Structure 1
Amino acid sequence: MGIGGFIGDFNMKKLSIIFSFFVLLLASFFTTDLTTTQAANLNYTVSPDLPDNQADSKISYFDLNVKPGDTQKLTFHINNTDNSDHKYLISINRASTNVNGVIDYSKHGTKADSSIQADIEKMVPQPKTVSVPANTDKKETFELKVPEKEFKGIVLGGIQIKLLDSPTAKTSDKKGVTINNQYAYVIGLQLQEGSEKFQPHLNLRYVKSKQINYQNYIIANIQNDQPAIINKIKADAKVTKEGSEEPVYKLEKDGLDMAPNSNFDLPVSTDNTPLKSGNYTLHLKLTEKDKTWNFTKDFNISTTKAKQMNKTAVGETNTKNNWPMMAVLAFLILIIAALLTIIIKSKNKK
């Protein structure tokens, strides 16, 4: 190979490397920074001792037939299979519904829904921490006190057993906030005093704009005011300017579940567009099997709130605020175009 050919190949290789570098750099502007975490090995298990008043002995959680004024002791086991001692937080929590439309047993001491008749957190002890030696199965007992006043339907909660002294998997969000991922087991705790069945009933309590994890949403607070679980709800929502039929934001979601006597915020995404102040209307249709609920509710977004939320939101499409990044992207695109032209001309000379 001649000196000229060697230099040509060398330049081509350098150009290819530089080109690849700029492509990767450009791609980094369009991708989200992802942190992969590996789930910790949970070196413990939990299991309940089902009592005589268990309604269904084939299931692995407490499903109890109780009477007004009953008091009984319930036991479960924490089996620490690790070679080290560990501490665990035990909390008995009222079932709630989270923003994903999933029944959640992980929160203690949150505000109960206004429709609740009997609060399971008032029937059991406060959360506590226990230590379990290495390779030991420890039995834990707590007392359940059923209210004197009769309740209807089901009361639902969960016994959460959370490992406290293990390394937590950490991720960071776009604002630099560290999120600790902790791991826990939950044993369901369901109480009922009779066999009466309740028909599903849903309410729309209020509508407002809200920021969740630095993203702007229009949230519709939905309430299940009955002492029964409601499964597989389908939601169709659209937000329009007041007096208009044209949707500004919309949502279609199915498979939503709700805990008895609970409410949750159904989030309608603003699709990363800045909020605009003004009067709006939410049109919401909820479907469960053969039942349908239709709601229409007006709401307002003030100028002050729109500015405040847009300022703290992450990822909004706003060319006015993003012009520095757009300028950098334009510069990188020009460099890539120039490199491509040089590479093509070099190949043509050959």
Structure 2
Amino acid sequence: MMMGGLGQVVRANEFNFSVTPILPENQIGKSGYFNLKMAPGQSQELTLTLTNSTERTVVVEEMIASATTNINGVIEYSPNDIKHDKTLKYNITDYAKIPAEITLAPNSSQQVKVEVTMPNESVSGVIAGGITFKEKDSDTASSKSKGISIQNKYAYVVGLLMQQDTTPVAPDLKLTSVLPGQVNYRNVINANLQNPNSGYLNQMYVKATVKGLSNTKLSYTVDKEMMQMAPNTNFDYPISIGEGNRIAAGKYRLTMTVYGQKSDTGQYTCQDAQGKTQKFEYQWQFTQDFTISGETARKLNAKDVTIKPEPWYQNWTIWVGALLLLLALFFIFFILWKRRRDDGENNGDKNVTKTVN
């Protein structure tokens, strides 16, 4: 098993405290995070040492979160807004408890206890998550430029994995949906990928192409490698249509090949963008047609910050509005003309009657 997303490159002054996990006897392998082999229903107490080497009191907030995968194909072990996948049966927050915060006196160390419990049933694969430590209201770096304050906040994350059997569970991959969307106010096509199994999907290499079926001139391709998915997670793989390009309504087709786990003995071979041949243990292929409605395209294009507004004479809404206005004026003119004509005919009939008498 390979675990990603825990290494942090930090300068000495970024943290006012340090965290050292004390690995227990049931630790699997040698690592800087907890990787526990536990029996069904087993409970145990984990220990971490927090050290404050500064001359002031430091309050540290402590949180536990289930592992998720973000849009960059990077695993996150700290709390975030990513929704849990529907295949996540065992959320680690239900099986691990930690105090909400701890106060560290100047130049002191304290031990923090984490209570973990394995579900009281047979569990295959990995229950994955992390323990996050963050200085309360910590603005460890602040600078001001032209009246703008820039603040950086840092968190220390220790991985927490629990499993009953060290036999790896093979990952799987599903394409659950293909929808237009935005990343940082830029238009993309989101292909949602799901790993429904309780094993890590490592060294992902995705080759994806979206082609227009209504407009065959449209084609968008994105290749990306060295991604990773946590067990029982999903993420939107964004396919950019290029900055400044309007997303067009119509029918499209996505074709995608995903490789996983590099291996010299892998049965699946592909060439990367540099023409180098790579071998992988896993391969998935997907094809899916989808449609973008005119209303969806208009809304996304209006929000894309890289798209220049259309000149007024190219804005179809202006022309439609003008046409409706002309039709309304024509209708009003017709009603007034008809009424005037009818009044004229009625007056003529009255004059004829008077002459006869």
CA distance in 2, matches of 1:116, 1:45: 32
Residue of structure 2 equivalent to 1:254: 225
Aligned to 2:75: 103
Q: State the partner residue of 1:49.
A: 22
CA separation in 2, counterparts of 1:124 and 1:166? 25
1:250-329 equivalent positions in 2, closer than 5 A? 250-272=221-243, 273-288=245-260, 289-316=280-307, 320=311
Which position in structure 1 is the counterpart of 2:52?
Answer: 80
Distance 1:220 1:40, change over 3 A: farther
1:296 partner SS: strand
SS at structure 1 position matched to 2:298: helix
- Cα pair 1:162 1:183 within 8 Å, conserved: yes
Q: Which residue of 2 aligns with 1:92?
A: 64
Identity of aligned residues (%): 33
Which blocks of at least 5 consecutive residues in structure 2 are unaligned?
1-10, 261-279, 315-357
Q: Please give the alpha-carbon distance, in whole angstroms, between the structure 1 residues aligned to 2:12 and 2:298.
A: 39
Q: State how far apart, in whole Å, the 1-side matches of 2:99 and 2:215 are.
A: 51
Runs of 4 or more, structure 1, over 3 Å off, are 108-111, 168-172, 177-181, 243-247, 317-321
User: Which TM-score applies when normalising by structure 1?
Assistant: 0.73
1:55-204 superposed matches below 5 A: 55-56=28-29, 58-107=30-79, 110-125=82-97, 128-167=100-139, 181-204=152-175
Q: Which amino acid aligns with 2:23?
A: L
> 1:305 is aligned with what amino acid?
T
Q: Report the alpha carbon displacement of residue 164 of structure 1 after superposing the two structures with TM.
A: 2.2
**Residue of structure 2 equivalent to 1:30:** none
State the Cα RMSD in Å: 2.7
2:212 corresponding residue in structure 1: 241
Give me the TM-score of the superposition, normalised by structure 2: 0.72
Counterpart Cα distance in 1 of 2:182 and 2:143: 20
Q: 1:219 touches 1:266 (CA, 8 Å); kept in 2?
A: yes
Distance 1:184 1:119, change over 3 A: same
CA contact (8 A) 1:283 1:296 kept: yes
Structure 2 CA distance for partners of 1:275 and 1:178, relative to 1, 3 Å: farther
CA distance in 2, matches of 1:203, 1:125: 32
After superposition, the Cα gap between the structure-2 partners of 1:110 and 1:287, relative to the gap in structure 1 and judged at 3 Å, is: closer
Residue of structure 1 in register with 2:195 after alignment: 224
Are residues 283 and 311 of structure 1, via their aligned partners in 2, closer, same or farther at CA, if it must alter by over 3 Å?
A: same
Structure 1 residue 205 and structure 2 residue 196: aligned? no
Q: Tell me the CA shift for residue 242 of structure 1.
A: 2.5
Rate the CA distance shift 1:244–1:104 in 2: closer, same or farther, 3 A.
Answer: same
Residues of 2 paired with 1:149 and 1:229: CA distance?
21
Tell me which structure has the larger Cα radius of gyration: 2
The 8 Å contact of residues 65 and 192 in structure 1, kept in 2 or not, is answered as yes
The answer to whether the Cα contact below 8 Å between 1:117 and 1:151 also exists between their aligned partners in 2 is: no
1:14 paired residue number: none
User: Once the 2 structures are TM-superposed, how far is the Cα of residue 167 of structure 1 from its aligned partner?
Assistant: 1.7
User: Does structure 2 retain, via aligned residues, the 8 Å contact 1:85–1:134?
Assistant: yes
Q: Partner of 2:296: helix, strand, or coil? A: helix
Give 3-state SS (helix, strand or coil) of 1:165's partner: coil
